[in-house]
Chains A and B, each alone.
Chain A
Amino acid sequence: MDWRTSRFGVMTQAQASPAVVVRDLTVVRGKRRVLPALSLEIPARQVIGLLGPSGSGKSTLMRAIVGVQVIESGTVTVLGHAAGSEALRDQVGYVAQSLSVYQDLTIRENVAYFGRAVGLTGRDLREAVAATLSEVDLEDHAGDLVRNLSGGQESRVSLACALVGRPSLLVLDEPTVGLDPILRRDLWDHFHDLVGRGRSLIVSSHVMDEATRCDRLVLLRDGRVLADLTPAELLERTGETDADAAFLTLVEASSDGEVNR
């Protein structure tokens, strides 16, 4: 590690019990080591932004946290359990980049089916579906087939399918892609609302202006943690005024370090 990355280095706040603890996680996809021995602690009850250029390992890290990624070595502990274990099935909600909803079902049918899959039944299920549809503002379209929706509506359906089980941890891979500014703002307000109700969120994005809306940021590059800090600290340390420039400064600093090594 060069002096710059150690200057912005991994800082873990002393929190009671972190939502996610990653230790020496190595993931190999094809011949590439996507994550080389990554270690990270993600605090609970915050919105954590997972940022980095495409190919930096954001999605792979999220898949490992959800427990659908084959890992080479290392451990991932989520809410005190091994990632992907039986105990976490109802506690972790996941929205992948591919929206993963059924095109030929209505919005309500999708949300109800995924609610059923995490164990809700009967009246509990109906109430959870109704509440979730109003949370994502899709009540008026509940009977529409997903294939007839716009991209933004479809991504809200996918989010609703993850929210319906009221999971403690939400892992959202680029949930705001394709959304207009108003919807993006509403969604981020909603994320903070969820944190207010005791949930933990991990949200990936490559839109840097969303960084300022996170409680804490993890910047990834080439499968390594470039920085783990608050948005204010990011601006302060780089001396920049906006998140985009700050991120570029950090990335360039780390590349210089690699060249100079």
Chain B
Amino acid sequence: MNPGLTIATTGRALRQIRTDHRTIALIMGVPMVAIGLLAWIYNNTPVFDAIGPALLGIFPLVVMFVVTSVATLRERQSGTLERLLTTRMGKADFMLGYAGAFGALAIVQALLATSFAIWVCDLDVLGPLWMLVLVAVLVAILGSSLGLLASAFARTEFQAVQFMPAFIIPQFLLCGLLVDRDQLPAFLSVVSDVLPLSYAVDAMKEVTAHAEVTSAGAWSMVIVAGFIVLALALASLTLSRRTP
């Protein structure tokens, strides 16, 4: 691993995104539109305060998953990845470079979505704001890592996009947003225990419900970080210098 090459890759990925104004607008705008709609639908009810924070954790996952899996698939198909791997660039430089670039985008996205939810839509958050942003960024990096992994199993961009519902919807249903995780049928409750989004939503709930950082919240974040490491490790197995 070479930090210089990791940073160069982060810079390169950000420069690529820079030329794509529409993608930037979608990444930044879609979460705000969805949160705004939700607040409006549940106007004068407690529902928005209950599910708003969890949604703040789900958007970064979805958006970063799609963006990263398509971007990485393009690298695999255009031959740029193969070319990079003939140079000093290591697999770790490549993956962490991507995680860095989309993590940076995620910080901006999380700041915008969180500010919009709190100051425009009056979302009640007891915990510190920086914790909310930190969780959102962690979730975004998780989305990037899972996207890197998923891109190895997609042969076309159509497939890569379809992987999003395949990866996300089961996690969305079981993450505790619709039904509390401890009230799920026993088997599904076990399944939800091994899905990363469950811990992201747990962490978001802790931050919004308590004024201080709780140990439950901290543990959930550690587990999300563990999933990131796991996804990156698995993704690195799918990157090889030599291909058939």
Contacts and interface: CB of A to CB of B under 8 A. Distances in A.
Contacts, number: 75
A119 B88 contact: yes
A218 to B, nearest CB: 21
B241 A117 contact: no
A84 B80 contact: no
Contact of A68 (B15, B20, B88, B242): B242
> Chain A interface residue count: which class?
20 to 34
Nearest to B4: A121
Interface in B82-111: 82-89
B62 to A, nearest CB: 22
A118 B88 CA distance: 5
Contacts of B86: 66-68, 84, 89, 92, 94
Given A104-B16, A113-B8, A117-B88, A96 B242 contact: no
Nearest to A95: B83
A98 B78 contact: yes
Chain A interface SS verdict (over half): loop
Interface string A111-125: 001101111010000
B244 interface: yes
A117 B84 contact: yes
A244 interface: no
B12 interface: yes
Nearest to B16: A104
B5 interface: yes
B244 to A, nearest CB: 5
Interface string B152-173: 0000000000000000000000
A244 to B, nearest CB: 30
Q: Which 7 A-B pairs have the closest CB atoms?
A: A100-B79, A117-B87, A98-B79, A100-B83, A116-B8, A104-B16, A70-B242
Interface of B: 4-5, 8, 12, 15-16, 19-20, 78-80, 82-89, 241-244
28 contacts: A29-B244, A66-B86, A68-B86, A68-B241, A70-B244, A84-B242, A89-B87, A90-B87, A90-B88, A94-B83, A100-B78, A100-B80, A100-B82, A102-B12, A102-B80, A105-B15, A105-B19, A109-B15, A113-B12, A114-B83, A114-B84, A114-B87, A117-B5, A117-B8, A117-B84, A117-B89, A118-B87, A118-B88
Interface of A: 29, 66-71, 84, 89-90, 92, 94, 96, 98-105, 109, 113-114, 116-119, 121, 145, 161, 165
